[in-house]
Amino acid sequence: MAVYIQDRRGGEPLGSSVLLAAFDDLMLSEYLLEPGTQPGAPHYHANHTDAFYVIDGELEFVIDGEAVRAPVGTLIVAPRGEVHAFPVAVGGPARFLNIHTPGGFERYMRTLMEMRSRGEEPDAELQREHDQYLV
């Protein structure tokens, strides 16, 4: 089922994000991160592109093992196969859009939120089922 939401207030909460749009071709979510959070584990997606657009604040990404700073207005794109890690906010809160294409990554996010609410973490098999490969 495709969902189209025009603003953050009506989106579906998914952890620290709000799902704004979920289509076969695209998933769009908005994040608000506070400084001091842990970066995500380095990973890649074999079958989709993961992109980030910074709206407010500054983020730091690790891409192919190198730290990359991203101020407001920066677009970071991790094409299929590019090793990257989920960012951290630098110096203050940061707000950004996260785009996955093709869509469907929201299913992984929903499963992850359900598991974490039970105190569980995903295993490698679940991550592979959702095109997420840890390195």
Q: Kindly report, residue by residue over 108-124, the tens digit of the pLDDT.
A: 999 998 998 999 998 99
- Residue 112 phi, psi dihedral angles, 5° rounding: -60, -45
At the topology level, CATH places domain 3-126 in Jelly Rolls (2.60.120)
User: Tens of pLDDT along 16-60?
Assistant: 899 999 999 999 999 999 999 888 899 999 999 999 999 999 999
Residue 9: band (very low, low, confident or very high) from pLDDT cuts 50, 70, 90: low
pLDDT band for position 95 (50/70/90)? very high
Weakest mean pLDDT among 7-11, 51-55, 95-99, 130-134: 7-11
Could you tell me if 87 and 78 are in contact, meaning their C-beta atoms sit under 8 angstroms apart? Answer: no
Q: How does DSSP assign the chain, residue by residue?
A: --EE-SSGGGSEEETTEEEEEE-SS-EEEEEEE-BTPPPPPPEE-SS-EEEEEEEES-EEEEETTEEEEE-TT-EEEE-TT--EEEEEE-SS-EEEEEEEESS-HHHHHHHHHHHHHTT----HHHHHHTT-EE-
Name the pTM for this structure. Answer: 0.88
Instruction: Spell out the domain ranges in the chain.
Output: 3-126
pLDDT at position 7:
53
Res. 1: pLDDT tops 50? no
80 within 8 A of 92, measured Cβ to Cβ: no
